[in-house]
Amino acid sequence: MEEFDKEKARKEFEKIAKNLSKEDIVELLSKKEEVESKIGGPLKKFVKEIELFFSLLKDFISGEYKEVPWFTITAIAAALIYLLSPIDLIPDFIPIIGLSDDAFVFYICLTLVEEDLEKYKRWKEERAKKSSS
């Protein structure tokens, strides 16, 4: 069995992020259900964040939310694409550890974009307050 390699996971994540376009993100948005179907094992703890990732990407692509660096958009999209990728460092079908590389990539992404996610959450909350008034 292949051993999990954090450095390989990080490099793959960075490679995906480096080559993303807006068209790739639009295509990714259409695969939300596919991503959600892969959430299990160590990824379960990222359910809220995955939902937030899709929300942020949607608001960015629609032009509703622009206060986010392109780096954050590509990091989020890369993490989601990595989850969808059939070529993982550890195949997803291996019980328990099969999703550990995916979970590590999400962890990397969250540490990189945490501040921007917090800003986005505040923006969403303010927007919700205004619309309910």
Residue 55: both structure tokens together? 């929300």
Quote the number of domains for the chain: 1
Residue 133 lies in a domain: no
Residue 33 lies in a domain: yes
- Across the range 9-37, mean pLDDT stands at 83
Under 8 Å between Cβ of 96 and 41: yes
Residue 1 lies in a domain: no
Residue 43: both structure tokens together? 């990824």
Residue 79 lies in a domain: yes
Residue 14 lies in a domain: yes
What's the Cα-to-Cα distance from 12 to each of 48, 78, 83, 101, 111, rounded to whole Å? 24, 9, 11, 11, 16
Residue 28 lies in a domain: yes
pLDDT by residue (tens digit) across 82-119?
888 755 544 444 445 555 667 777 888 888 899 999 99
- For the entire predicted model, the pTM comes to 0.78
Separation between Cα atoms, residue 77 and residue 17, nearest integer Å = 7
